[in-house]
């Protein structure tokens, strides 16, 4: 069965700190990895990674995928209180896994002023 | 472009009842996936619909069912509700459900079973 594991499960930092969130996966016929941010309700899309070693960047957030070692990291620099949320990573497999995301447990990030 | 919408946003039901939740995808999106989110199990895949056909199903009992209409709107139904069905139910839409299609989530329906 496909598995996605995130670490740490929770993290408390102060504004201005840099954080690194980890996501490892064991997925048969792996195709893509996605990162989402969930604050109150709907997870909002951050990144999709399909190729190894290519960094995706958006402002203070960046992410990279290592398909050899089967993991991804999400970096947030100069954290702000608005970054407080649950960060979810999810994998997509090929074959007949239409529309199915397999999620990790999430990392709860708390940023104090 | 309007996002994914879900109705109702909150529901309270009692054990044994049934419930129907609705999801309207982003305009032009034809794939709709449903997920259950609970504190203990996290986000778990229920099923996916494309062109009114269920193409994929997660490991949930037959009490959980769904359908999709010709305008891509989707409904999910849970019959004979159990206490453990209390959860946030999220739907997500994508263009065609391809492995490189991003899924965009709706705000969810919070179901409480008493």
Predicted confidence at residue A5, as pLDDT, reads 97
Predicted confidence at residue A11, as pLDDT, reads 97
Q: Residue B1 pLDDT more than 80?
A: no
Q: Best interface-test mutation with B: which of A98, A104, A105, A107 has the largest number of B CBs within 10 A?
A: A98
Whether A92 and A31 have beta carbons less than 8 Å apart is answered as yes
Say how far apart CA B4 and CA B94 lie, in whole Å: 10
Give me the mean pLDDT over the A18-45 stretch.
94
With an 8 Å Cβ cutoff, is A50 touching chain B?
yes
Q: Residue A96 pLDDT more than 80?
A: no
Contact check, Cβ <8 Å, A100/B106: no
Q: Residue B79 pLDDT more than 90?
A: yes
Say which of B42, B58, B88 has its CB closest to residue A105: B42
Please, where are the H alpha helices in chain A? none
Predicted confidence at residue A41, as pLDDT, reads 78
Average confidence score pLDDT of chain A: 94
pLDDT tens string A37-78: 999 878 999 999 997 878 899 999 999 999 899 999 999 999
Q: How many CB pairs under 8 A join A and B?
A: 72
Predicted confidence at residue A75, as pLDDT, reads 98
Q: Best interface-test mutation with A: which of B6, B95, B99, B100 has the largest number of A CBs within 10 A?
A: B99
């Amino acid at each position: 069965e496909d598995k996605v594991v995130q670490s740490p499960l929770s993290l408390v930092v102060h504004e201005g700190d840099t954080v690194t969130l980890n996501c490892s996966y064991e997925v048969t016929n792996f195709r893509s990895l996605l990162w989402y941010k969930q604050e109150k309700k709907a997870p909002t899309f951050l990144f999709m990674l399909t190729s190894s070693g290519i960094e995706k960047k958006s402002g203070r957030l960046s992410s990279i995928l290592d398909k050899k070692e089967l993991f991804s990291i999400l970096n947030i620099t100069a954290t702000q209180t608005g970054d407080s949320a649950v960060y979810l990573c999810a994998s997509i497999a090929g074959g007949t896994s239409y529309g199915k995301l397999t999620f990790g447990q999430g990392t709860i990030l708390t940023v104090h002023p | 472009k309007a996002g994914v919408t879900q109705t109702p946003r909150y529901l309270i039901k009692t054990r044994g009842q049934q419930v129907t939740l609705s999801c309207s995808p982003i305009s032009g999106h034809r794939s709709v996936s449903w997920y259950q989110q609970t504190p203990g199990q996290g986000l778990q895949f229920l099923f996916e619909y494309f062109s009114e056909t269920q193409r994929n199903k997660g490991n949930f009992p037959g009490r959980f069912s769904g359908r999709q209409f010709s305008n891509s709107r989707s409904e999910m139904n849970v019959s004979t509700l159990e206490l453990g069905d209390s959860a946030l139910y999220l739907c997500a839409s994508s263009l065609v459900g391809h492995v490189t299609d991003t899924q965009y989530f709706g705000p969810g329906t919070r179901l409480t079973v008493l």
